[in-house]
Chains A and B, each alone.
Chain A
Amino acid sequence: MMCAAIDMFREDVMASYSTNEFKGGLKIMLDGDPCSIIENEFVKPGKGQAFNRVKIRNLKTGRVLEKTFKSGESVEGADVHETEMQYLYNDGEFWHFMDPESYEQVSADQAAVAESAKWLKEQDVCLVTLWNGAPIIVEPPKFVILNVADTDPGLKGDTSGSGGKPATLETGAVVRVPLFVQIGEAIKVDTRSGEYVSRAKED
């Protein structure tokens, strides 16, 4: 009985999808890489072969590509899911994350963390995309609070915030901040735009 249950689980993991099941967000395997369907267009001459023209994002490289399938074809599904995980530490090579419920840990490489690395602060909760259990994409929180490690001392009396100056944050990210922001202060940054939002309130 146990074996049967495991086999059923395996089959579920290796599900394949016909073009009739294609829709935005479906995760499929293409040329060995996990991909996510962005757009699916049904193309058919009145009297002739039907096709699905699909726009796909390769989840490993982030590249968007197009692919044409013959309608009715089947494609292997990709075991991909997103989950919230807490960032623990970087050992110099890998970034380590923990599932806050199961305490299970995973390590993400440079390719998975990519540009997100500069926003990662220990304890912060990130959105991690796992493929066959291993991280392939790490997204930082939409807003992070980080300390200013270095910036030019601003001009006294300027509170308008116009102009601004570069500030290096504790994680290494460089953002433009208003002139009044000083070293050691905590600021709130929008990670999607990389822009300063406000000074972080102490609470």
Chain B
Amino acid sequence: MAQTENWRPSASIEMIRARAEMLSHIRQYFDRIGVLEVDTPVCSRFAATDPAIESFSTSYTGPEAVHGLDLYLHTSPEFPMKRLLAAGSGPIYQICKVFRNGELGRRHNPEFTLLEWYRPGLDYHQLMDEVADLINVLTARPLQIERLTYAEAFERRLGLNPHAVDLDQLRQCAIKEGVPGAGRLAIEGRDGWLDLLLSHLIEPQLGQAGLTFLYDYPASQAALARVREDRYPMAERFELYVSGMEIANGFQELTNADHQRKRFSEDNRRRRQSRLAEVPMDEGLLDAQAAGMPECSGVAVGLDRLLMVLTGTLDIRQVVTFDLSRA
């Protein structure tokens, strides 16, 4: 039988070196500013409840679990890292593989590398500064930094207030702006339409001159961010875009166990509604928050995408050693 070339890595050796160098600089950076590297379990009895994120599952069978114990591969190390914060770890970071089912494309691989860090005492604006600071350590020249609220981005590009408009106005906007097929898209809820407008019309323009931080999201997209009462309730959340690509997502972290439990339950309710499997919420995190989690900000950076940006690569397959088709 003819030998295939599929044994070869999808990344060049040069790229593999660039990745090693990036990781080394990141570790040096955190060492210098006194943030501790930690390592938390990849497999957990709990899963991310977010209906837009699908966990892989597996099971452990053996001592203490004769009939098998259902486990989920983490989609981010967020929950156990917050438990460490509550236990008094101080500032911590982690570089690890995370897993998300159903995501594959030019900018997605179902397993990818996240850098996640938490800063007790820093607010999310200070953390944005730190993210920019870290990235500028990795680039040859410092990049220009732009900060834009979610509302400003929508107003500037589409002339609408994303916190005030209703579903039909969002739909009409997508049609008017020529999103192909928008008229027949069956998207339930405002957030899905906001995602459509953001991903098709706004994102491509973000971070074209450097780093663009988008911040203060609709409360309905708070995920695990704290919500501030303002004219409209505002999620203290930010995302970083470079070259039109989402690189990082950060929060002023929700620390209140009761609010956290409500969000988990609401996620599971939406899962049922969308006929997705409900998943067990992290009781460990809820207990940790009840015991006292310090006020902090936290952020996750997609390192594969960051490497794409640093090396000017357009396809994620070229920055991971073996993409899914070769794994």
Contact = CB atoms under 8 A, between A and B. Distances in A.
A63 interface: no
Given A47-B52, A47-B249, A49-B195, A66 B221 contact: no
Interface in B98-112: 102-108
Interface stretch (B4-12, B61-69, B180-188): B180-188
Q: Chain A, interface size: which category? A: 20 to 34
A49 B104 contact: no
Contacts of A73: 186
A49 B196 contact: yes
A33 interface: no
Contact of B246 (A46, A49, A51): A46
Contact of B186 (A20, A65, A70): A70
Interface string B163-185: 00000000000000001111001
A42 B195 contact: no
B192 interface: yes
Contacts, number: 73
Nearest to B224: A47
A48 B221 contact: yes
Interface residues of B, number: 30
A45 interface: yes
B53 interface: yes
B105 A66 contact: no
B105 A45 contact: no
A50 to B, nearest CB: 7
B200 interface: yes
Contacts of B182: 68
A42 B221 contact: no
B180 A47 contact: no
B196 A46 contact: no
Interface string A46-74: 11111101000000000001111111010
Contacts of A115: none
What are the 6 A-B residue pairs with the smallest beta carbon separation, nearest first?
A: A42-B105, A48-B195, A49-B195, A67-B181, A49-B192, A66-B180
Interface of A: 20, 41-51, 53, 65-71, 73
Interface of B: 50, 52-53, 102-108, 179-182, 185-187, 191-192, 195-196, 198-200, 221, 223, 239, 246, 249, 302
Given A42-B106, A49-B192, 13 more contacts: A20-B102, A42-B103, A43-B199, A45-B52, A45-B199, A47-B50, A47-B53, A48-B191, A49-B191, A50-B52, A51-B200, A67-B181, A71-B102
